[in-house]
Structure 1
């Protein structure tokens, strides 16, 4: 099933094969396909191991190398695709959906733009990495053809 989803995702978009990169919509679809059920909160000890923007209304955050979450925001966060850094608000070591925010730091010295978290979903990091590798392989084959 996941193999079919990857093939459809890449085949349905000519830009995937020609540019060698997935767009934000395609990356978000891939991350959603590997996300679990929404949960009310996630653990957070003040530091992120990494993050990926997935357009202007979602991002993936790694709290540890093997633990990641898909955060979908309540609305567009215009500075997210251009952010140099992000932060998360939290309470007692937990980030909560509908209460906490992603703080986006853009290129300028201006204030941080707060973006409210609408949902939190755990990611299957191993399956996500496998799918990304399969997509890269499919893209390489499409470029060779």
Structure 2
């Protein structure tokens, strides 16, 4: 019930923002949090990512496969995350652990990698997340058509 209320409140706030054409990092983080499961100790990691999305300076989503993604919330702000071109993850024996492993922000200038400690890992319901994103895009199109 609590999750349903959160999703409804989020949807109402996001529809109000639909006229801007783009969600802020905070709004995207709220959307991802609404589709994330409970915190877990670790996640399986095979050494490469299928993709990633920054969600502000203290969170990101990483795709380990096209249909499998995790919300990583960091312990504090991660310098350079919002404009990074690449990231890496530390791991131990094929697992990335919260509180022990880090996101490594790669700088385009060739400077040092900035380590950002992972505070929590939550598996994303990718199917539901994509459906919500599709609904938001449709709402934005309808808003633009109504305004034209």
TM class by smaller structure = over 0.9
Structure 2 partner of 1:97: 98
**1:85 lines up with 2:79 in the alignment:** no
RMSD of aligned alpha carbons: 1.4
1:53 Cα shift? 0.4
Q: Is the partner of 1:38 in helix, strand or coil?
A: strand
Runs (5+) with no aligned partner, structure 2? none
Structure 2 partner of 1:17: 19
Structure 1 partner of 2:46: 45
Runs (5+) with no aligned partner, structure 1? none
Structure 2 partner of 1:114: 115
Q: Is the partner of 1:137 in helix, strand or coil?
A: helix
Scaled by the length of structure 1, the TM-score of the pair is: 0.93
Count of aligned positions: 142
Distance 2:54 2:82 in 1: 6
1:6 Cα shift? 5.0
Detail structure 1 runs of 4+ shifted over 6 Å in the superposition.
none
1:109 Cα shift? 1.2
**1:8 lines up with 2:12 in the alignment:** yes
Scaled by the length of structure 2, the TM-score of the pair is: 0.91
